[in-house]
Chains A and B, each alone.
Chain A
Amino acid sequence: EVQLVESGGGLVQPGGSLRLSCAVSGFTFSSYTMGWVRQAPGKGLEWVSDINGSGGRTYYIDSVKGRFRISRDNSKNTLYLQMSSLRVEDTAMYYCAKAGDKSWYHYWGQGTLVTVSS
Protein backbone atom coordinates (compact mmCIF):
# COMPACT_ATOMS: atom_id res chain seq x y z
CA GLU A 1 0.00 0.00 0.00
CA VAL A 2 1.34 3.41 -1.00
CA GLN A 3 1.59 5.82 1.91
CA LEU A 4 2.79 9.42 2.06
CA VAL A 5 3.01 11.12 5.45
CA GLU A 6 3.90 14.80 5.71
CA SER A 7 5.27 16.53 8.78
CA GLY A 8 6.96 19.76 9.75
CA GLY A 9 4.18 22.29 9.34
CA GLY A 10 3.31 24.87 11.96
CA LEU A 11 3.05 28.53 12.83
CA VAL A 12 5.95 30.74 11.76
CA GLN A 13 6.48 34.47 11.59
CA PRO A 14 6.95 36.27 8.28
CA GLY A 15 10.55 35.94 7.18
CA GLY A 16 10.96 32.67 9.03
CA SER A 17 11.82 29.19 7.84
CA LEU A 18 10.36 25.69 7.98
CA ARG A 19 11.33 22.32 6.59
CA LEU A 20 8.58 19.99 5.50
CA SER A 21 9.17 16.25 5.23
CA CYS A 22 7.22 13.54 3.46
CA ALA A 23 7.97 9.95 4.41
CA VAL A 24 6.83 7.43 1.83
CA SER A 25 6.38 3.68 1.67
CA GLY A 26 4.85 1.06 -0.59
CA PHE A 27 6.75 1.81 -3.79
CA THR A 28 10.27 2.23 -5.16
CA PHE A 29 10.75 5.85 -4.14
CA SER A 30 13.82 6.53 -6.29
CA SER A 31 11.92 5.63 -9.47
CA TYR A 32 9.33 8.38 -9.30
CA THR A 33 9.01 12.12 -9.60
CA MET A 34 7.56 13.66 -6.45
CA GLY A 35 5.90 17.01 -5.97
CA TRP A 36 4.52 19.50 -3.51
CA VAL A 37 1.10 21.07 -4.03
CA ARG A 38 -0.43 23.65 -1.70
CA GLN A 39 -3.92 24.88 -0.99
CA ALA A 40 -4.59 28.14 0.81
CA PRO A 41 -7.64 28.10 3.10
CA GLY A 42 -10.80 28.07 0.99
CA LYS A 43 -8.82 28.32 -2.26
CA GLY A 44 -7.81 26.07 -5.12
CA LEU A 45 -4.81 23.87 -5.69
CA GLU A 46 -1.42 25.40 -6.55
CA TRP A 47 1.54 23.34 -7.72
CA VAL A 48 4.70 24.43 -5.87
CA SER A 49 7.60 22.24 -6.95
CA ASP A 50 8.66 18.84 -8.13
CA ILE A 51 11.80 16.73 -8.36
CA ASN A 52 12.70 13.76 -10.52
CA GLY A 53 13.61 10.36 -9.16
CA SER A 54 17.35 10.91 -8.94
CA GLY A 55 16.97 14.41 -7.55
CA GLY A 56 18.90 15.87 -10.45
CA ARG A 57 16.06 17.96 -11.88
CA THR A 58 13.92 20.33 -9.88
CA TYR A 59 11.21 22.80 -10.85
CA TYR A 60 9.44 25.60 -8.97
CA ILE A 61 6.57 27.98 -9.35
CA ASP A 62 7.93 31.52 -9.86
CA SER A 63 6.57 32.82 -6.54
CA VAL A 64 8.81 30.48 -4.51
CA LYS A 65 11.97 30.48 -6.62
CA GLY A 66 14.96 31.45 -4.52
CA ARG A 67 13.03 30.90 -1.28
CA PHE A 68 12.04 27.21 -1.37
CA ARG A 69 14.21 24.20 -2.12
CA ILE A 70 12.94 20.73 -2.86
CA SER A 71 15.15 17.73 -2.21
CA ARG A 72 14.93 14.02 -1.55
CA ASP A 73 16.87 11.34 0.29
CA ASN A 74 16.28 8.11 -1.60
CA SER A 75 18.06 6.11 1.12
CA LYS A 76 15.47 7.32 3.63
CA ASN A 77 12.45 7.31 1.28
CA THR A 78 11.83 10.92 2.24
CA LEU A 79 10.97 14.07 0.31
CA TYR A 80 11.69 17.54 1.69
CA LEU A 81 10.69 21.13 1.13
CA GLN A 82 12.93 23.70 2.76
CA MET A 83 11.05 26.97 2.96
CA SER A 84 12.68 30.26 3.88
CA SER A 85 11.76 33.95 3.75
CA LEU A 86 8.19 32.85 4.34
CA ARG A 87 5.39 35.26 3.51
CA VAL A 88 1.81 35.52 4.73
CA GLU A 89 0.69 34.36 1.28
CA ASP A 90 2.56 31.06 1.75
CA THR A 91 -0.05 30.08 4.34
CA ALA A 92 -1.61 26.84 3.09
CA MET A 93 -2.01 23.14 3.49
CA TYR A 94 1.01 21.55 1.82
CA TYR A 95 0.53 18.15 0.21
CA CYS A 96 3.24 15.89 -1.06
CA ALA A 97 2.26 13.79 -4.04
CA LYS A 98 3.63 10.93 -6.10
CA ALA A 99 3.67 11.37 -9.86
CA GLY A 100 2.62 8.71 -12.30
CA ASP A 101 4.43 8.06 -15.58
CA LYS A 102 4.19 11.81 -16.20
CA SER A 103 3.48 14.58 -13.70
CA TRP A 104 -0.08 13.76 -12.86
CA TYR A 105 -0.38 12.95 -9.16
CA HIS A 106 -2.06 9.67 -8.29
CA TYR A 107 -1.14 9.44 -4.62
CA TRP A 108 -1.36 12.28 -2.11
CA GLY A 109 -0.47 12.65 1.53
CA GLN A 110 -2.90 14.03 4.10
CA GLY A 111 -1.12 17.37 4.12
CA THR A 112 0.66 19.53 6.68
CA LEU A 113 -0.56 23.02 7.53
CA VAL A 114 1.81 25.97 7.30
CA THR A 115 0.63 29.24 8.83
CA VAL A 116 2.69 32.38 8.35
CA SER A 117 1.55 35.08 10.70
CA SER A 118 2.91 37.59 13.16
Chain B
Amino acid sequence: DMQMTQSPSSLSASVGDRVTITCRASRDIGNHLAWYQQRPGKVPTLLIYDASTLQPGVPSRFSGRGSGTDFTLTISSLQPEDFATYFCQNYDGAPLTFGGGTKVEV
Protein backbone atom coordinates (compact mmCIF):
# COMPACT_ATOMS: atom_id res chain seq x y z
CA ASP B 1 0.00 0.00 0.00
CA MET B 2 0.98 3.57 -0.65
CA GLN B 3 2.65 5.21 2.38
CA MET B 4 3.40 8.85 3.09
CA THR B 5 6.01 9.31 5.80
CA GLN B 6 6.36 12.71 7.42
CA SER B 7 9.24 13.80 9.58
CA PRO B 8 9.64 14.95 12.20
CA SER B 9 6.39 14.05 13.94
CA SER B 10 6.83 17.12 16.12
CA LEU B 11 9.25 19.98 16.49
CA SER B 12 9.83 22.89 18.80
CA ALA B 13 10.56 26.28 17.31
CA SER B 14 10.45 29.99 18.04
CA VAL B 15 8.90 32.94 16.27
CA GLY B 16 11.18 33.94 13.42
CA ASP B 17 12.71 30.47 12.95
CA ARG B 18 12.99 28.78 9.58
CA VAL B 19 11.18 25.44 9.71
CA THR B 20 11.33 22.56 7.23
CA ILE B 21 9.07 19.51 7.22
CA THR B 22 9.73 16.47 5.04
CA CYS B 23 7.31 14.08 3.39
CA ARG B 24 8.43 10.91 1.64
CA ALA B 25 6.24 8.81 -0.65
CA SER B 26 6.71 5.06 -0.95
CA ARG B 27 6.56 5.34 -4.76
CA ASP B 28 6.96 8.03 -7.39
CA ILE B 29 3.97 10.39 -7.28
CA GLY B 30 5.31 13.07 -9.61
CA ASN B 31 4.20 16.42 -8.22
CA HIS B 32 0.83 15.18 -6.94
CA LEU B 33 1.35 16.38 -3.41
CA ALA B 34 -0.50 18.87 -1.24
CA TRP B 35 0.21 20.39 2.16
CA TYR B 36 -2.40 21.35 4.77
CA GLN B 37 -2.34 23.25 8.04
CA GLN B 38 -4.64 22.39 10.92
CA ARG B 39 -4.81 24.63 13.95
CA PRO B 40 -6.12 23.08 17.20
CA GLY B 41 -9.85 22.50 17.04
CA LYS B 42 -10.09 23.83 13.50
CA VAL B 43 -10.71 22.49 10.03
CA PRO B 44 -7.67 21.73 7.82
CA THR B 45 -6.77 24.40 5.29
CA LEU B 46 -4.91 23.92 2.01
CA LEU B 47 -1.51 25.60 1.82
CA ILE B 48 0.16 24.16 -1.27
CA TYR B 49 -0.81 21.87 -4.15
CA ASP B 50 1.11 20.36 -7.05
CA ALA B 51 4.06 20.22 -4.63
CA SER B 52 4.96 23.88 -4.97
CA THR B 53 1.93 25.99 -5.97
CA LEU B 54 0.78 28.31 -3.22
CA GLN B 55 -2.97 28.34 -2.64
CA PRO B 56 -4.29 31.91 -3.13
CA GLY B 57 -4.35 33.82 0.15
CA VAL B 58 -1.58 31.76 1.77
CA PRO B 59 1.36 33.88 2.97
CA SER B 60 4.51 33.75 0.87
CA ARG B 61 6.58 32.57 3.86
CA PHE B 62 5.22 29.10 3.05
CA SER B 63 6.90 27.23 0.20
CA GLY B 64 6.96 23.69 -1.11
CA ARG B 65 9.52 21.78 -3.12
CA GLY B 66 10.11 18.33 -4.47
CA SER B 67 8.94 15.74 -6.95
CA GLY B 68 8.92 11.99 -7.25
CA THR B 69 9.22 10.66 -3.71
CA ASP B 70 10.75 13.46 -1.62
CA PHE B 71 9.02 16.69 -0.71
CA THR B 72 9.50 19.55 1.74
CA LEU B 73 7.38 22.29 3.24
CA THR B 74 9.33 25.30 4.48
CA ILE B 75 8.14 28.19 6.61
CA SER B 76 10.75 30.89 6.14
CA SER B 77 10.02 32.90 9.30
CA LEU B 78 7.64 31.28 11.76
CA GLN B 79 4.79 33.48 12.97
CA PRO B 80 2.63 32.95 16.09
CA GLU B 81 -0.32 31.80 13.97
CA ASP B 82 1.82 29.09 12.35
CA PHE B 83 1.95 26.92 15.45
CA ALA B 84 -0.22 24.09 14.19
CA THR B 85 -0.09 20.59 12.74
CA TYR B 86 0.89 20.12 9.09
CA PHE B 87 -0.10 17.22 6.86
CA CYS B 88 1.05 16.18 3.43
CA GLN B 89 -1.34 14.40 1.05
CA ASN B 90 -0.70 12.29 -2.02
CA TYR B 91 -3.34 12.54 -4.74
CA ASP B 92 -1.66 10.40 -7.39
CA GLY B 93 -4.57 8.00 -7.67
CA ALA B 94 -6.68 6.22 -5.09
CA PRO B 95 -6.29 5.52 -2.32
CA LEU B 96 -5.33 9.07 -1.50
CA THR B 97 -3.10 9.11 1.55
CA PHE B 98 -2.11 11.63 4.18
CA GLY B 99 1.11 11.73 6.09
CA GLY B 100 0.96 11.25 9.83
CA GLY B 101 1.36 14.95 10.56
CA THR B 102 3.99 17.26 12.02
CA LYS B 103 3.08 19.29 15.09
CA VAL B 104 4.94 22.59 15.27
CA GLU B 105 5.11 23.73 18.88
CA VAL B 106 6.59 26.64 20.78
Residues of A near any B CB (own CB < 8 A)? 35, 37, 44-47, 50, 59-62, 95, 100, 102-106, 108-111
Contact = CB atoms under 8 A, between A and B. Distances in A.
Given A50-B94, A59-B94, A108 B45 contact: yes
B2 to A, nearest CB: 11
Interface string B35-55: 010100001111001100001
10 contacts: A44-B98, A45-B36, A45-B87, A50-B96, A61-B95, A62-B1, A103-B91, A105-B44, A105-B89, A108-B43
Contact of B46 (A35, A47, A59, A106): A106
A99 B70 CA distance: 23
Nearest to A59: B94
What does DSSP make chain B's interface, helix, strand, loop or mixed? loop
A50 B44 CA distance: 17
A102 B36 contact: no
Contacts of B99: 44
Contacts of B1: 62
B74 to A, nearest CB: 19
A46 B98 contact: yes
A94 B105 CA distance: 26
A94 B98 CA distance: 15
Given A100-B49, A109-B43, A47 B95 contact: yes
Contacts of B34: 104-105
Name the 7 nearest CB pairs between A and B, nearest first. Answer: A59-B94, A104-B34, A103-B91, A47-B96, A104-B49, A45-B98, A44-B101
Contacts of B91: 102-104
A79 to B, nearest CB: 16
B101 A110 contact: no
Interface in B73-106: 87, 89, 91, 94-101
Interface string B52-68: 00010000000000000
